[in-house]
Amino acid sequence: MNIFRFAGDMTHLISILVLLLKIYATKSCAGISLKTQELYALVFVTRYLDLFTDFISVYNSVMKVVFILTSSAIVWCMRRHRIVKRSYDQALDTFRHLFLVLGCLVLALIVHDKFTFQEVFWAFSIYLEAVAILPQLVLLQRSGNVDNLTGQYVFFLGAYRAFYILNWIYRYLTEQHFRLWISCISGLVQTALYADFFYYYYISWKNNSKLQLPS
């Protein structure tokens, strides 16, 4: 494991912890898209089907369990927690995420390594992760104002993507048999989706003002 991948994993973990902290501390999930959170939970569950069949390292297994549990906990809080669920912006969170799921499923059925249950769902999770942030970005766009913790959540998520791309470049240069193709393209798509957000995040940070997205 190289430093870029480790930094990517850590910023990914921090983004989830920031989100849990926001929900726990403010008892509110305002500005958070339930649809994006459901998609991430689905991404982790379908990608880590190998949890019990292929052992890579204790680090990998622990992180997989942590990601599945924390993403499920967030979805549970937003749907079921007596107080938290009241602050959910249902009227603004109208992205048709089922179409993303169906589109990724069709793509995974066409483009995959091997036609097995695990491999198809692994490919599905890679494609879905690339677009899972869309409902969240649309929700931020619609609500205009972004509170600090929500802004930091998306910031860390974007940092995770940037570190993973550096990791792939590093692996491409140092490992003989490392070829990316489809995963790299999905990774680039996912990272590009953040570019717009990062621009406004930078502007608000530079001016030391509240993050506001144009409508």
Q: Which chain residues interact with another protein by CB under 8 A?
A: 5, 9, 12, 50, 54, 56-57, 60, 63-64, 67, 112-114, 119, 122-123, 126, 164, 167, 171, 175, 177-183
Helices 134-143 and 182-206 cross at an angle (nearest 10°) of 20
Beta carbons of 139 and 29 less than 8 angstroms apart = no
Closer to another protein by Cβ: residue 176 or 208? 176
DSSP sequence for the chain: --HHHHHHHHHHHHHHHHHHHHHHHHS--TT--HHHHHHHHHHHHHHGGGGGT----HHHHHHHHHHHHHHHHHHHHHHH-TTGGGG--TTT----HHHHHHHHHHHHHHS-SSSSHHHHHHHHHHHHHHHTTHHHHHHHHHH-B--HHHHHHHHHHHHHHHHHHHHHHHHHHH-TT---THHHHHHHHHHHHHHHHHHHHHHHHHTT---B---
Beta carbons of 4 and 166 less than 8 angstroms apart = yes
Closer to another protein by Cβ: residue 60 or 141? 60
CB of 148 to another protein, least distance (A): 27
CB of 117 to another protein, least distance (A): 15
CB of 89 to another protein, least distance (A): 29
CB of 9 to another protein, least distance (A): 6
Closer to another protein by Cβ: residue 113 or 196? 113
Closer to another protein by Cβ: residue 10 or 20? 10
CB of 106 to another protein, least distance (A): 17
Closer to another protein by Cβ: residue 67 or 197? 67
Closer to another protein by Cβ: residue 64 or 142? 64
Partners of 212 in beta bridges: 145
**Which position has the token pair 């930078």?**
202
CB of 151 to another protein, least distance (A): 24
